[in-house]
Chains A and B, each alone.
Chain A
Amino acid sequence: MLDWSFPPGLWEAIGLTLKLAAVSSLALLAIGIPLAHWLTSSRMRGVIVAETLVSLPIVLPPTVIGFYLLVLMSPGQPVGAAWVHVFGQPLPFSFTGLVIGSIIYSLPFAVQPIQAAFRAVRPEMVQTALALGLTRRQVFWSIILPLSKNGVLAGASLSFAHTMGEFGVVLMLGGNIEGQTRVASIALYDEAQQLHYDTAHAYALVLLAISFLILITIAVLQRRQHRMLLGA
């Protein structure tokens, strides 16, 4: 049953997948930290709508994201035409296109753990710091963010792992270009379609191993944080 071998394209596809996951989760940190902060601290009325939009990709089929991006970004559409005008390259069938799809796809997986960590920071601490004369910005950088380190790490690693397993967005938007958009999940699908179950096994096993490693790292981090909190 487990008769598998490493196909030639495997490491290229795995490398591309890791790169996509890395770039997307870095971008998600840059977007997710301010977004999570705004969502937790804003008293605006519309914040619940924004929060819902952020959570939407959890329930949304990834094919929906891929389909909308494919249609929206087509050169015949205003958004797509504007994109080509500014960046010179159309979004579909490109690595950038996959990164943008992945950012939307993994957004809640980055934002929610960060938001939870921000919420766990005791308000008295923030009040005290403000009373001592720190600006809101200083309070955020020197108190809230360091205290939320584990939540930020969890958000980054969860969005990394979630992007690794992405299939629907790249299927709709990727165009299956070797070295550019053929990520491991698509390559695995191709191998299975070609009845190369042995090479499909290799892809599946490597993906499984990487995902397992990421999740166990998150679990270890969380346990350590828990112990730290208990010790404090």
Chain B
Amino acid sequence: MKTLLLTMLGVLALPARAEPLVVAAASDLTYSIGELADAFRKQAPGVELKTSLGSSGNFFAQIKNGAPFHVFLSADMMYPQRLAAEGAADGATLTTYAIGRLALWTLDPRFDLRQGMAVFRDARLARVAIANPQVAPYGMAARAALQHHGVWDAVSGKLVLGENIAQTAQFVQTGNAQVGVVSYATVLAPRLKGVGSYYLVPQAGLAPIEQGAILTARGKGHPAAARFMQFLHSPTARAILQRHGFGLPPAKHA
């Protein structure tokens, strides 16, 4: 009886001993998080790593309410900053790990994207997809870019709003929107490479889409979480992010 009880206690204790490291990743990391995770597993073979993809706003609400994420890779700086202000994350650990880039994307051969933002003056455009500027960092950036190039008024009646950048890409991919303002990471994704044509929106005159990583309050207690944060700034991780279309913050020298 005693042995049985001890065994049962042992089984119960098992998951606590090897608690997996859980990373919440913004949906613009859809195509790179797998590679990042694999590279980290190679460096830290003893750590069980799990990743979740979703919108930064959802992760914010979940982490605030005690969701079991240790590291939060947001698509902006605002959500992690707010988490830190509310005491749900450690503000001292907040760093910029990547800088998002915008791209125009179309599958419709009638639209020549080499003309850049001028494509939005094309009267044949029926639907333009952007991420929701109210909730998605890429949506905010897309609106700023359209305004900066003076085409916001021309397109505002044609906009369809994706919940996040992945859904925005889906609207374009299914051909339901003729042109989309998506992330550069989307058009470089292995499944989409060479599909349709894209145009990289110039950064000049626009605020960079800085993406923040932060340790959650729960993550501070996880032995491998800080290691993952360091890994994000390693040459390996930076190379992966760059290959997937992200700009990089200045390198940190330890």
Using a CB–CB cutoff of 8 Å, the interface residues on chain A facing chain B are 70-71, 73-77, 80, 90, 92-93, 171, 175-177, 189-190, 192-195
* A176 and B132 contact, Cβ closer than 8 Å, known pairs A192-B61, A193-B57, A193-B58: yes
Are A171 and B163 interface neighbours, CB within 8 A?
A: yes
A179 to B134, CA, bound (A): 16
Q: Please indicate the chain A residues that have their CB under 8 angstroms from the CB of B174 in the complex.
A: 70-71, 74, 76, 92
Distance in Å from the Cβ of A97 to the closest Cβ of chain B?
10
Candidates B160, B170, B175; contact of A176 at CB < 8 Å: B160
Q: Which residue of A lies closest to B160 (CB)?
A: A175
Q: Tell me what chain A mostly uses at the interface: helix, strand, loop, or mixed.
A: loop
* A195 and B57 contact, Cβ closer than 8 Å, known pairs A90-B126, A93-B127, A176-B161: yes
10 contacts between A and B (CB under 8 A): A74-B176, A77-B175, A92-B176, A93-B160, A175-B129, A175-B177, A192-B61, A193-B57, A193-B61, A195-B61
Given contacts A74-B174, A93-B127, A192-B57, 9 further A-B contacts (CB under 8 A): A75-B175, A90-B176, A92-B171, A92-B174, A175-B177, A176-B132, A189-B163, A194-B134, A195-B60
Q: Does B227 contact A (CB under 8 A)?
A: no
Distance in Å from the Cβ of B66 to the closest Cβ of chain A?
16
Distance in Å from the Cβ of B167 to the closest Cβ of chain A?
8
Q: Does B106 contact A (CB under 8 A)?
A: no
* A74 and B61 contact, Cβ closer than 8 Å, known pairs A193-B55, A195-B82: no
Q: Please indicate the chain B residues that have their CB under 8 angstroms from the CB of A71 in the complex.
A: 174
Distance in Å from the Cβ of A202 to the closest Cβ of chain B?
16
A185 to B57, CA, bound (A): 16
Q: Does B135 contact A (CB under 8 A)?
A: yes
Q: Please indicate the chain A residues that have their CB under 8 angstroms from the CB of B176 in the complex.
A: 70, 73-75, 90, 92-93
Q: Which residue of A lies closest to B129 (CB)?
A: A175
Are B132 and A190 interface neighbours, CB within 8 A?
A: yes
Are A193 and B160 interface neighbours, CB within 8 A?
A: no
Q: Please indicate the chain A residues that have their CB under 8 angstroms from the CB of B163 in the complex.
A: 171, 176, 189
Q: Please indicate the chain B residues that have their CB under 8 angstroms from the CB of A93 in the complex.
A: 127, 160, 176-177
A171 to B168, CA, bound (A): 11
A193 to B175, CA, bound (A): 27
Candidates A90, A171, A194; contact of B135 at CB < 8 Å: A194
A195 to B134, CA, bound (A): 11
Are A190 and B134 interface neighbours, CB within 8 A?
A: yes
Q: Please indicate the chain A residues that have their CB under 8 angstroms from the CB of B134 in the complex.
A: 190, 193-194
A195 to B177, CA, bound (A): 29
Q: Does B113 contact A (CB under 8 A)?
A: no
Q: Does B159 contact A (CB under 8 A)?
A: yes
Nearest 9 CB-CB pairs, A to B? A175-B160, A193-B57, A176-B161, A193-B135, A76-B175, A74-B175, A74-B174, A92-B176, A93-B160
Q: Which residue of A lies closest to B78 (CB)?
A: A195
A93 to B162, CA, bound (A): 11
Distance in Å from the Cβ of A198 to the closest Cβ of chain B?
14
Q: Please indicate the chain B residues that have their CB under 8 angstroms from the CB of A192 in the complex.
A: 57, 61
Q: Please indicate the chain A residues that have their CB under 8 angstroms from the CB of B82 in the complex.
A: 195
Distance in Å from the Cβ of B212 to the closest Cβ of chain A?
16
- Digitize B140-178: 1 where CB-to-A-CB distance is under 8 Å, 0 elsewhere: 000000000000000000011111000100110011110
Distance in Å from the Cβ of A64 to the closest Cβ of chain B?
14
Pick from B57, B58, B175, B177 the residue with the most CB of A within 10 Å.
B175
Distance in Å from the Cβ of B182 to the closest Cβ of chain A?
15
Candidates A76, A77, A175; contact of B161 at CB < 8 Å: A175
Candidates B55, B57, B60, B161; contact of A177 at CB < 8 Å: B161
Are A190 and B160 interface neighbours, CB within 8 A?
A: no
Q: Please indicate the chain A residues that have their CB under 8 angstroms from the CB of B161 in the complex.
A: 175-177
A56 to B167, CA, bound (A): 25
A195 to B107, CA, bound (A): 35
Pick from B58, B60, B107, B161 the residue with the most CB of A within 10 Å.
B161
Distance in Å from the Cβ of A177 to the closest Cβ of chain B?
6
A192 to B61, CA, bound (A): 8
Pick from A74, A80, A193, A195 the residue with the most CB of B within 10 Å.
A193
Q: Please indicate the chain B residues that have their CB under 8 angstroms from the CB of A195 in the complex.
A: 57, 60-61, 82
Q: Please indicate the chain A residues that have their CB under 8 angstroms from the CB of B60 in the complex.
A: 195
Distance in Å from the Cβ of A92 to the closest Cβ of chain B?
5
Are A194 and B175 interface neighbours, CB within 8 A?
A: no
Pick from B61, B126, B132, B170 the residue with the most CB of A within 10 Å.
B132
